[in-house]
């Protein structure tokens, strides 16, 4: 028996505008994300700055809007000033977060040059692990102050007289996590974050500040941490962060495919906590979420081990998930959830951009290629436009071991009224059952199907490699049609699809 799922929507029922910042990414000094990822002097494709052009081109194709830098766990032991000035004078340091040696060949000025070439907005994290208010003010002065004070003049002397004008700043990273250098109780972090935020605001720089929420919704302090941070920082910040990584487990594809159910309840819990604090403080302002680390991981494909013992390598090879077709379907599904919450998720960063859990993978001295998860990100970023529409999903469900009951079908749609374009993103989260999708189109006028693409492989474990980089790619979905019932399309199990419809001229 064929299953059916229906997506009900209407052009007047809107969540909010598609935000470009939903399509952010993350570059950390971790493993091979920076070194031999975006930066590899001497690589055949490297430009005069040492930036790999092949990675820059793929970053553009991926549709990345903003990039968080320099960490991650790395930032909690980082001295930003090590990474500026003449390269030959920069110190080598032990990176205690990743048990590596940091050469500091790449730092803030290189990152800003790279961000400009990549056409992305920078998001900079300050160290609130081993450092505090003064060092946050120092890096802010170096980055954003007009020349005429010491650190701004140092930036100018380093070749950058114009202030960078970085707007988005993260007040530390995952400070709730016991693994974090400088980890501290919620009240201590909250006070430090509030003091740092107030001091940074005094500079008059136009800032959007992000305080640390929890590292994951399964943290024992989840909820209480958010409340404490919000009570202390509500007036001083714009966003609270959320982080999550999902991984598949042998024999439980159903839970993995339903990961977005968990992401949604995470978002809704943070929104509820934030609005509760807003009510108790009697404020008008509503805080937003910066989902500044999210992704899937696939340790099956990992090459290399995290260093330890006496080994302190430079840019070691680890955390290089090799992603499957199934992983790509889950990423597409998570993007559906982020878009659906566009009213409260103001910014998001897939972690990370290249090599470390990245949609882009490189070989040192060799090629760069698109991992499977590259495709749903690139297509959603390129084609989501206008307003995100509310969807009511009518679908068979599945009971999962980890995330309770999930609809097999999930979907979101964007409506670009000016262009007369409706774009529907849909996922079939069933591990083994096909589903017929119907999207009634009443209210949209006369729409025709522009194109339809589907990401599905008979072998959900199929991967892209340097030798076969296009094994898993979205393909035209020939079964899609606009009929009197609306948009219809068969969705095989473990599939993600995109449909673009256009008002007939």
Q: Which is nearer to ligand AHR, 141 or 176 (CB)?
A: 176
User: Which residue lies nearer to ligand AHR by CB, 330 or 351?
Assistant: 351
Taking CA atoms, 239 is separated from 336, 351, 460, in Å, by 21, 18, 36
DSSP letters, 175-230, are TT-TTSTT---HHHHHHHHHHHHHHHHHT----EEEE---S-TTSTTTTHHHHHHH
Name which of 214 and 273 has its Cβ closer to ligand AHR.
214
Binds ligand AHR by CB under 6 A, chosen from 18, 22, 28, 194: 28
Beta-sheet strands, E only, within 54-138: 66-69, 93-95, 100-102, 121-126
Cβ pair 320, 303 in contact under 8 A: yes
- Chain positions 210 to 239 lying near ligand AHR, rule: CB under 6 A, are 215
Q: How far apart are CA 263 and CA 402, in angstroms?
A: 12
Phi-psi region of 212 (alpha: psi -120 to 50; beta: other; left: phi over 0): beta
d(C-alpha 127, C-alpha 120), whole Å: 22
In 46-107, which ranges are continuous DSSP H helix?
Answer: 53-62
Q: CB-wise, 5 or 72, nearer to ligand AHR?
A: 72
In this structure, how many other beta carbons lie within 10 angstroms of the beta carbon of residue 504? 10
Task: Supply angle C-alpha 413, 414, 416, rounded to 5.
Answer: 150
What is the nearest approach in angstroms of ligand AHR to the Cβ of residue 303? 16
Among the candidate windows 65-73, 146-154, 374-382, 447-455, which touches ligand AHR by CB under 6 A? 65-73
Q: Which one of 174, 226, 264, 320 is the catalytic residue?
A: 174
Other CB atoms within 10 Å distance of the CB of residue 283? 12
Single out the residue of 380, 407, 376 nearest to residue 394, CA to CA: 407
Among 174, 176, 262, 457, binds ligand AHR (CB under 6 A): 174
Nearer to ligand AHR, 358 or 486 (CB): 358
**Is 174 annotated as catalytic?**
yes
Residue 293 interacts with ligand AHR (CB under 6 A): yes or no: yes
- Position 297 contacts ligand AHR (CB under 6 A): no
Count of residues near ligand AHR by CB under 6 A:
11
| Shortest Å, Cβ 328 to ligand AHR | 19
**Residue 352 lies near ligand AHR (rule: CB under 6 A):** yes
Q: Where in 67-126 is the site for ligand AHR (CB under 6 A)?
A: 71-73
CA distance 449 to 64: 27
Is-catalytic flag, 293?
yes
**72 or 474: whose CB is closer to ligand AHR?**
72
Quick check: 324 binds ligand AHR (CB under 6 A)? no
> Closest distance between ligand AHR and the C-beta of residue 171, in Å?
14
Residue numbers annotated as active site: 174, 293
Residues that bind ligand AHR (CB under 6 A): 28, 30, 71-73, 173-174, 215, 293, 351-352
């Amino acid at each position: 028996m064929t299953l059916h799922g229906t997506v009900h929507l209407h052009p007047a029922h809107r969540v909010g505008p598609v935000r470009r910042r939903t399509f952010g990414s993350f570059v950390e000094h971790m493993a091979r994300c920076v070194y031999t990822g975006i930066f590899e002097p001497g690589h055949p494709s490297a430009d005069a700055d040492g930036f790999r052009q092949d990675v820059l081109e793929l970053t553009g194709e991926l549709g990345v809007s903003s990039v968080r830098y320099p960490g991650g766990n790395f930032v909690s032991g980082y001295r930003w000033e090590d990474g500026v000035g003449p390269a030959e004078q920069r110190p080598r340091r032990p990176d205690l977060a990743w048990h590596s040696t940091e050469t500091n060949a790449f730092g803030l000025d290189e990152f800003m040059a790279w961000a400009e070439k990549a056409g992305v907005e920078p998001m900079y994290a300050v160290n609130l692990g081993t450092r505090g208010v003064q060092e946050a003010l120092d890096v802010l002065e170096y980055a954003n102050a007009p020349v005429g004070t010491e650190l701004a003049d140092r930036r100018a002397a380093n070749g950058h007289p114009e202030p960078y004008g970085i707007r988005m700043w993260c007040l530390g990273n995952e400070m709730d996590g016991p693994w974090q250098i400088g980890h501290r109780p919620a009240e201590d972090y909250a006070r430090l974050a509030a003091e740092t935020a107030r001091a940074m605001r005094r500079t008059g720089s136009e800032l959007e500040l992000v305080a640390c929420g929890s590292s994951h919704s399964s943290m024992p302090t989840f909820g209480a941490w958010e409340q404490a941070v919000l009570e202390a920082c509500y007036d001083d910040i714009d966003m609270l962060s959320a982080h999550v990584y999902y991984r598949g487990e042998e024999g439980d594809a159903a839970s993995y495919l339903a990961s977005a159910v968990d992401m949604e309840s995470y978002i809704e819990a943070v929104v509820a906590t934030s609005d509760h604090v807003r009510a108790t403080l009697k404020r008008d302002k509503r805080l937003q979420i910066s989902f500044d680390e999210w992704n899937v991981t696939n340790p099956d494909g990992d090459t290399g081990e995290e260093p330890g013992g006496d080994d302190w390598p430079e840019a070691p090879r680890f955390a290089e998930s090799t992603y499957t077709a199934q992983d790509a379907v889950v990423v597409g599904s998570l993007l559906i959830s982020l878009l659906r919450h566009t009213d409260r998720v103001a910014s998001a960063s897939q972690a990370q951009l290249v090599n470390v859990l990245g949609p882009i993978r490189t070989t040192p001295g060799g090629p760069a290629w698109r991992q499977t998860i590259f495709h749903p990100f690139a297509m959603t970023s390129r084609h989501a436009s206008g307003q995100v529409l509310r969807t009511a999903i009518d679908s068979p469900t599945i009971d999962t071991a980890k995330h309770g009951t999930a609809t097999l079908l999930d979907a979101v749609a964007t409506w670009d009224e000016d262009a007369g374009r409706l774009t529907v993103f849909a996922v079939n989260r069933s591990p083994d059952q096909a589903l017929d999708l119907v999207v009634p189109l009443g209210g949209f006028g006369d729409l025709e199907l522009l194109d339809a693409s589907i990401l599905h492989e008979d072998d959900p474990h199929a991967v892209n490699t340097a030798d076969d980089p296009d094994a898993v790619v979205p393909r035209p979905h020939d079964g899609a049609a606009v009929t009197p019932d609306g948009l219809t399309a068969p969705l095989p199990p473990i599939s993600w699809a995109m449909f673009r419809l256009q008002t007939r001229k």
